[in-house]
Chains A and B, each alone.
Chain A
């Protein structure tokens, strides 16, 4: 016996499902919490970068304001103004050029030894940021590098301006110095979506390029289109990795700082815990399955034992019992089953006893029926012979009567003996037609007495079978006698033989009362009879004889119309003497 898959699924689901659900919920919660934590940390980094950049510009503003103060507070000559500007350019490498413009936008002094390339936008200035400082949109210089111009009013009332060209390459260092975890980095995007600085070593080609559809740029533009100052998300970044990304808008200048953190690295702790949890769940699952299998096996094994005993009982092994260990419900079920089996055996014994009693009653009644008449006849004859012993005719009649009735008694006793122990039969080739005709002739007076017509229709060709002539004759007589007893006066009995190829069939047909369908199946059993009296051994003995001779006996009957018994034998060769004679 095997455990069915459905049972396995059922047990496994019951054991595993809660564990798996717990694992999923735990992992999901852990991931969410870690993501939130990482995002918060990255936002803090982005804010720090934004602050640094704002400080960078703030410092530049201070330098330029200092320059303005030096130029206008000290009545410097033009060459001195130039030297001041040049000194600042030399001392502050991020300034490529610093120039002083008058209110009309003409150059008053410049740090350039060559002519200045700077211009001041006409008033009112577009894009004036806090404190009147104008930071121009980032542009790329002739070499493709990001540059911006910062313009702020000089510190006097004459409407002069100080303008400086600032190389944003300096910001690269700031951004490059940002390391988020092992390989996280920062990206700086200007107000137009252009990448100004990129912390990923293999993505520097994006800096100041015309590429405008990187995920970072889309994120920055998306952030600018809303009212939020920060945004978090994730996308596929450099190297084809998944990145957790946060973006934060700056104030001055209006740029966006993006911090990208490889998801694998950001969630490393969570992933590690996730793996540990997964391993723990797997171990627990295996343990559950193992324990479940062991427990289930003992459980199922007892059910299987119960099933085996049930089947044994069903197949007739009434001694089969189940022996189960434990004190649980299965054990109780096994005990109940054993009790039921014990009770079944008791019931069976009682039924047998009752059957025996019924059978004994029937046998006794049959014997009484079959033997009382000859015994009574013999008794009456004995009484008469005492009175008329001298009557020679009567003595002869007495002798015949006693012999006939004793023969009847003897036949009843032989029948009983044959049921208990089949009689030994001789096998000779006999003519079935002749045997049938002989029996019919024997029974003809009885039929006639009963007001019946007994006909026989014998096959024209030889119908030899292997048989015992006396036994076959008895079968014939049994069948004809039954027909006589079952047929009302005026009825017809036909005894016939037929040859069908290598088979010989002997039929006894009557127009009697017929056998009910519910009883026809048992008429060849011992002590079964449709008659009100008698042992009911005739058909049982006939069947045994036919089968002993290698033939078959069958019956077809219809209540109210009649019955036909058919004996079917293999056809045999004629006896040698017959062959010689024939």
Chain B
């Protein structure tokens, strides 16, 4: 560890017990009945029943000395958290000594402000480059962009307690009305991948749904016509002739959300649905989402690389989810339970395939896109990652391309 002490199973046991006993218990530890140190280097975890999410939970365990949270085991050790987070190279890191001697984290009010700082050579790397300006990043001789698909997706979350939105046919019609490709092209400057469901597409067990809900405005209108939701039926006092109106909350912090909201409004209006846009700040959005006080809202949601967040968001019985949003959706509880109980690769693949199909059949929201996250790194560093991999996950492996003085 960073204080030169040896990491022992006793410390792991202690940390695990703290997590298991925590009020904010992490998904994956619910079925743990005991944790013991079988030997100085072995920890024995007993469960009351199989849990697919145990391993992701263990992966996420932060190994730090309880009495000194900055004493950990990574390639960099924290030397300062305020006013600037700063870490220095841990010379005895078990994976090898990093070429990067010091890492400082600077925060900016917006992505574009950070990008401007990168252009002015005030930064060596940027965690996320604005989609508005990424094309210029790649033109810069001393900056290289690293796009990667993250485990976040952008959904238009639907409230299943809404009189119309609780009807799966309405939800399917709305999904068919949306041209996801156009949203990615116009709203995200092409930096994203179509999301047909909330399952991270790069998960090892994922297979795309065989019959996704594709853009088909005619089918959408037909569905709504069949339901009696005809054009003009939901006309408002303002004179908008629509089948029905639903409100959409979106945050104003990022221009991208407003642009996507405008595109959704236009696309839905083309099938006769009036999407009333309501800008809102993030804090109020969270509050109203948690209370279920919304028709729809536009957000960014985490799927989790191990689908743990998919479980938390979309399983009606998960406590964590209740603190995030309340949609009243229960359509995939069974599939998620089977996924959680899966103990073999085949069981997992089958469970995820079933889950994907359920998300299509009983579509809970309008999942739009998996945004492409773009890291920017100064070309003075050789990052050495494959396509779509996140270079920030392995900063300790970066090395100087050449010795230059700026």
Contact = CB atoms under 8 A, between A and B. Distances in A.
Interface in B298-336: none
Interface in A147-173: 167, 169, 172-173
A172 B259 CA distance: 21
B255 A113 contact: no
Contacts of A96: 255
B239 A79 contact: yes
A114 interface: yes
Given A83-B266, A114-B252, A144 B139 contact: no
B277 interface: yes
B112 interface: yes
A173 B132 CA distance: 12
B266 A90 contact: yes
A205 interface: yes
Interface stretch (B38-46, B93-101, B113-121, B153-161): B113-121
A106 B319 CA distance: 48
B5 interface: no
Given A113-B277, A204-B140, 17 more contacts: A77-B238, A79-B239, A80-B239, A86-B266, A89-B259, A90-B266, A96-B255, A113-B261, A142-B110, A142-B112, A142-B113, A167-B132, A169-B133, A176-B139, A201-B139, A201-B141, A201-B142
B377 to A, nearest CB: 15
B305 to A, nearest CB: 31
B194 interface: no
Contacts of A173: 135
A172 B139 CA distance: 10
Contacts of A209: 120
Q: Which of A90, A93, A204, A209 has the most CB of B within 10 A?
A: A204
Nearest to A202: B141
A167 B142 CA distance: 24
Nearest to B274: A79
A57 interface: no
B142 A202 contact: yes
A334 B35 CA distance: 123
Interface string B338-370: 000000000000000000000000000000000
Contacts of B278: 113
Contacts of B132: 167, 169
A143 interface: yes
A165 to B, nearest CB: 11
A283 interface: no
Contacts of A167: 132
A207 interface: yes
**What 5 pairs between A and B have smallest CB-CB spacing?**
A143-B112, A201-B141, A144-B116, A114-B279, A113-B277
Contacts of A89: 259, 262
B331 to A, nearest CB: 30
A173 B133 CA distance: 11
Interface in A78-129: 78-80, 83, 86-87, 89-90, 93, 96, 111-114
Most buried by A among B112, B116, B277: B116
A335 B238 CA distance: 127
B245 to A, nearest CB: 11
B266 A79 contact: no
A145 B266 contact: no
B258 interface: yes
B258 A113 contact: yes
Contact of A201 (B140, B261, B265, B279): B140
B136 interface: yes
Given A113-B261, A113-B279, A208-B116, A142 B142 contact: no
B203 to A, nearest CB: 33
Contact of B119 (A87, A113, A176, A207): A207
B269 interface: yes
B265 A86 contact: yes
Contacts of A142: 109-110, 112-113
Contacts of B240: 77, 79
A90 B186 contact: yes
A89 B263 CA distance: 10
A87 B265 CA distance: 10
Contacts of A205: 119-121
16 contacts: A89-B259, A93-B186, A96-B255, A112-B258, A113-B261, A114-B252, A141-B112, A143-B110, A143-B116, A145-B116, A167-B132, A201-B141, A204-B136, A204-B140, A208-B116, A209-B120
B250 interface: yes
B141 A83 contact: no
Interface in B104-128: 109-113, 115-116, 119-121
Find the residue from A78, A112, A114, A209 having the highest chain B CB count within 10 A: A114
Given A96-B255, A169-B132, A169-B133, A86 B262 contact: yes
B136 A172 contact: yes
Contacts of B262: 86, 89-90, 111, 113
Interface in A168-210: 169, 172-173, 176, 201-202, 204-205, 207-209
A113 B250 contact: yes
A173 B238 CA distance: 41
Nearest to A113: B277
Interface string B258-292: 11011101100100000001110000000000000
Interface in B72-111: 109-111
A86 B260 CA distance: 11
A77 B239 contact: yes
B210 to A, nearest CB: 32
A93 B250 CA distance: 20
A531 B186 CA distance: 140
Contacts of B119: 204-205, 207
Contacts of A176: 136, 139
Nearest to A198: B119
Interface string A471-486: 0000000000000000
Nearest to A210: B120
A90 B263 contact: yes
Contacts of B265: 86
Given A113-B279, A204-B136, A143 B113 contact: yes
Nearest to B251: A114
Interface string B159-185: 000000000000000000000000000
Contacts of B115: 143
Nearest to B269: A83
Contacts of B266: 83, 86-87, 90
A78 B113 contact: no
Nearest to B265: A86
B316 to A, nearest CB: 31
A571 to B, nearest CB: 96
Contacts of B113: 142-144
Contacts of A172: 136
Nearest to B130: A143
Nearest to A177: B139
Contacts of B109: 142
A144 B112 contact: yes
Nearest to A211: B120
Interface string A455-493: 000000000000000000000000000000000000000
A96 B112 CA distance: 15
Interface in B28-79: none
A117 to B, nearest CB: 11
Nearest to B132: A169
A89 B186 CA distance: 10
A172 B110 CA distance: 21
Contacts of B120: 205, 209
Contacts of A111: 262
Contacts of A112: 258
B189 to A, nearest CB: 8
Contacts of B189: 93
B53 to A, nearest CB: 38
A114 B258 CA distance: 8
Nearest to B261: A113
Given A83-B266, A142-B110, A143-B113, A90 B259 contact: yes
